[in-house]
A = this chain, B = another copy of it.
Amino acid sequence: MTRRPTIADVARTAGVSPSTASVVFSGKTPVSDATRERVRAAAASLGYAGPDPLAASLRRGRSGIVGVVFEEHLGAAFLDPVKTLMMDGLADAVAPLGAGLLLLRDEALTENAPTLSTAPIDAAVLIGCSGLLRDSLELVRARGLPVVVVEGDAGDGVPRILLDNREAQRQAADHLRRLGHRSVAILTLPLDAGRRRGWVPADAEIAIDVTRERLAGARDVFPDAVAYAAAGSFIDEGLAAGRVLFADPANRPTAVIAQSDLLAAGVVRAAEEAGLRVPADVSITGFDGVQVDGLAPYELTTLVQAAAEKGRAAGAAIAAMLEDREPASILLTCTFREGSTTGPVPS
């Protein structure tokens, strides 16, 4: 015979019933050592590698897979250290459930690409910036799957994992104000999926929650601060923006509030390039508290967010829903950390 052996074949050659064989593999019911051995031997002799996951999943009604939905290209998502850490925490949190992570994109570009509606997932985690994931949310709710939204605009009844972006950013701004800074520029993350670089008009519509909230926090303290939007969270974007911010020596901010550590690192570099000392001539704050590779010897003044914890919280919420418990929305708080990139305003 050419087809792969099934558990029934194993049971037959072992001289036991299918259910007994099944139990040997699942271990959910005690089995006598003798029969277990016989079943094992039969399996080995047939080259049976264990129960078919697909069939087992159907029977159980669980696939052991959690879908993670990104809005962007996968490569882009993992360029962001915060997302990477988050995935790490998420992976840890779902592992005890016996679940793995399936990478999914929000919009299926290819014709028959796998989507939320065709993938055998038990639950979904939406990683959200803008409202694009609205459709994904619909899809997954239609299927009655548990869903958690991380840093995004969920709807009614969907647990969310959030950060106190506004309050946290306000702390950094307060810190700068206490140091005497009055001329402050804000370097923001992208405003929307368009990711255009440039000055942010006062009346700008900001589609991405994180950007909007952090900007609001900074403006709580410095209502008139100018804002410049980067096209992404990269050191080189921060560098480019920093060049713009420091272009006019006569009209230069004494402090820059960057909305991410990577951006801040770029601004530090731009300052060096412009012959400015950090923090003697200009103070710079970041956001995230990630390890910026290559920034040494500077230590950024920043808001440390528990990125991995975000993933773990999402995983915990998923676990709760899978066990029919009430999931909790979670608000994680950032911790202000003073580094070596902020100091008193130059006199």
Contact = CB atoms under 8 A, between A and B. Distances in A.
Q: How large is the interface on A (under 10, 10 to 19, 20 to 34, 35 or more residues)?
A: 35 or more
Interface stretch (A15-23, A84-92, A339-347): A84-92
A328 B85 CA distance: 35
A49 interface: yes
Contact of A87 (B53, B74, B236, B296): B74
A269 B293 CA distance: 12
A235 B294 contact: yes
B142 A49 contact: yes
Query: How many copies of the shown chain assemble into the complex?
Result: 2
Nearest to A4: B144
Interface string A49-77: 11001111110010111010000011100
Interface stretch (A106-114, A162-170, A279-287): A106-114
A117 B57 contact: no
A113 B91 CA distance: 10
A31 interface: no
A118 interface: yes
Given A75-B87, A78-B87, A101 B98 contact: no
Contact of A120 (B65, B294, B295): B65
